[in-house]
Amino acid sequence: MQRYSAFSLLRNALGHNRNWGRVWRSPEPKQGYDAIIVGGGGHGLATAYYLAKNHGMSNIAVLEKGWIGGGNTGRNTTIVRSNYLWTEAALLYEKSMQLWEGLSQDLNYNVMFSQRGVYNLGHSLQDMRDIERRVNANRLNGIDAEVVGTAELGKAIPHLNISPGARYPVLGASLQRRGGVARHDAVAWGFARAADALGVDIIEQCAVTGIDVSGGKAVGVQTTRGPIASDRIGVVVAGHAGVLAQMADLRLPIESHPLQAFVSEPIRPVLDTVVMSGAVHGYISQSDKGELVIGAGIDAYNGYGQRGSFPVIEHAMQAIVELFPVFSRVRMLRLWGGIVDVAPDACPILSKTPVEGLYFNCGWGTGGFKATPGSGWAFAHTMAHDEAHELNAPFSLERFSTGALVDEHGAAAVAH
């Protein structure tokens, strides 16, 4: 692997940038691997990377049906925070946050992690009580969190409408200063490059069409590029988890829904933090290119088409204009949808399954980008040891039959 540094930038600039090497190989699939990861999104690539880095496994393939990062990883609004209410969730997302804080150095790839702060607005007395409760819970878990009032909000976010006459007046917010955004594509590429350097085969244009199970054990996969054997298979396909589960005759407590986002035309710097509101349901930040990045809610009905419905777009726009009347005349440039895998308790599933050697990592729903490094870290442990790490042990499939759900639905600020 060609290491990136200021010196390599300079050297390549002198060569008119014609000598940069390939960032990862494009190998032919082998007949078998020690482990297979299905799905080349951020979570799958991170799993492969940590399997290699932390557990010394390098005979691994990541199989991706399209191009890496083309799923939700490359479609999300990139908000990173760890201020979840329940301890189980908070610790998992906080592990991720700590990995984010050193990720660019660790991967030798700039993932543009920008800790610009995340505000979750409250619009009612009950919102504010929930915010105070969550901030206190976060602090008890060692996670930075503050309650801020409208005066401070007005100073920090000058264009936010804090007028008491607003339809949904802003009464305050929680603030996680360590939260922020990262560059989604760079996360996929950075993990891919680092995993590749440790020997992982990243195989794009390779859809898994079947999971081979023999005597209750996973033995390999069928793909559009032929069968590949392995007795350790990790499925990390987000919205398609149900489709893969069916290949192994499993059912999941997951439903897939479209979730949309949009970006505006680029404008001058106007918003240097992240603002989210669960009550009016919109969230917004500004990218380094100047585009406003805006997220919507999910379509209430199931869907696998990567586009969402118009009423949801309209609703998100109303929310943003309500919060920032100054944006009412900004034009939207692009909009798109991803398919998110929603679990009944809005928490992920990182779990063994009834099929030995088959593991599922899914259920991140509308909010898993922030968890990319932590998810890969914990899931790699689970696959390497055939046993959950204590961080992801509460997130097994069993919780749906024991009843030990981690109910972040409604408890978390807003689901992203």
Partner 1 sequence: MLLIECPWCGPRAETEFSHGGEAGITRPANPDALSDAEWADYLFYRSNPRGAHRELWNHARGCRRWFVVERDTVTNRIAGSFRLDEALPVPASAAGKQAEQGD
Ligand X SMILES: Cc1cc2nc3c(=O)[nH]c(=O)nc-3n(C[C@H](O)[C@H](O)[C@H](O)COP(=O)(O)OP(=O)(O)OC[C@H]3O[C@@H](n4cnc5c(N)ncnc54)[C@H](O)[C@@H]3O)c2cc1C
- Residues interacting with ligand X, by CB under 6 A? 38-44, 63-66, 70-73, 75-79, 207-208, 236-238, 240, 259-261, 295, 338, 340, 364, 366-370, 416
Q: Of the ranges 88-96, 111-119, 129-137, 254-262, which one interacts with partner 1 (CB under 8 A)? A: 254-262
Verify binding: residue 205, partner 1, rule CB under 8 A: no
* Contact present, 29 and 145 (Cβ < 8 Å): no
Verify binding: residue 407, partner 1, rule CB under 8 A: no
Verify binding: residue 325, partner 1, rule CB under 8 A: no
Separation CA 80–CA 283 (nearest Å): 12
Verify binding: residue 124, partner 1, rule CB under 8 A: no
303, 363, 367, 368: which one binds partner 1 (CB under 8 A): 303
108: nearest Cα among 10, 197, 178: 197
85: nearest Cα among 76, 94, 77: 94
Between 105 and 401, CB nearer to partner 1: 401
126 binds, among ligand X, partner 1, none (CB under 5 to 8 A by kind): none
Total site size for partner 1, rule CB under 8 A: 24
26, 31, 302, 328: which one binds partner 1 (CB under 8 A): 302
252, 275, 388, 406: which one binds partner 1 (CB under 8 A): 252
76 binds, among partner 1, ligand X, none (CB under 5 to 8 A by kind): ligand X
Verify binding: residue 222, partner 1, rule CB under 8 A: no
Verify binding: residue 309, partner 1, rule CB under 8 A: yes
Separation CA 384–CA 89 (nearest Å): 22
Task: List the structure tokens of 177.
Answer: 């200063």
Separation CA 350–CA 360 (nearest Å): 6
Between 4 and 282, CB nearer to ligand X: 282
Verify binding: residue 311, partner 1, rule CB under 8 A: yes
* Residue 246: CB minimum distance to partner 1, A: 7
41 binds, among ligand X, partner 1, none (CB under 5 to 8 A by kind): ligand X
368 binds, among ligand X, partner 1, none (CB under 5 to 8 A by kind): ligand X
Between 37 and 160, CB nearer to ligand X: 37
Between 64 and 128, CB nearer to ligand X: 64
* Contact present, 264 and 332 (Cβ < 8 Å): yes
251 binds, among partner 1, ligand X, none (CB under 5 to 8 A by kind): partner 1
Separation CA 154–CA 160 (nearest Å): 7
Q: Of the ranges 12-20, 26-34, 52-60, 252-260, which one interacts with partner 1 (CB under 8 A)? A: 252-260
* Contact present, 293 and 266 (Cβ < 8 Å): no
Q: Of the ranges 133-141, 164-172, 281-289, 308-316, which one interacts with partner 1 (CB under 8 A)? A: 308-316
Q: How many CB atoms lie within 10 A of CB 222?
A: 15
Verify binding: residue 240, partner 1, rule CB under 8 A: yes
- Beta pairing partners, 228: 221
Q: Of the ranges 7-15, 104-112, 259-267, 303-311, which one interacts with partner 1 (CB under 8 A)? A: 303-311
Outline where 108-229 has alpha helix (H).
Answer: 125-140, 150-156, 184-197
* Residue 241: CB minimum distance to partner 1, A: 8
DSSP secondary structure code for residue 4 in this structure: P
Separation CA 229–CA 231 (nearest Å): 7
CB contact set of 222 (below 8 Å; sequence gap of 6+): 208, 209, 210, 211, 212
> Tokens 């297979």 label which residue?
36
Separation CA 132–CA 129 (nearest Å): 5
Verify binding: residue 256, partner 1, rule CB under 8 A: yes
Residue 83's alpha-carbon distances to 16, 32, 76, 122, 374, in angstroms, are 45, 41, 19, 15, 15
Helix axes 372-385, 87-101, angle to 10 degrees: 110
323 burial level (CB within 10 Å; 0-12, 13-18, 19+)? buried
Q: Would you tell me which residues interact with partner 1 (CB under 8 A)?
A: 240, 242-243, 246, 251-256, 300-306, 309-311, 344, 400-402
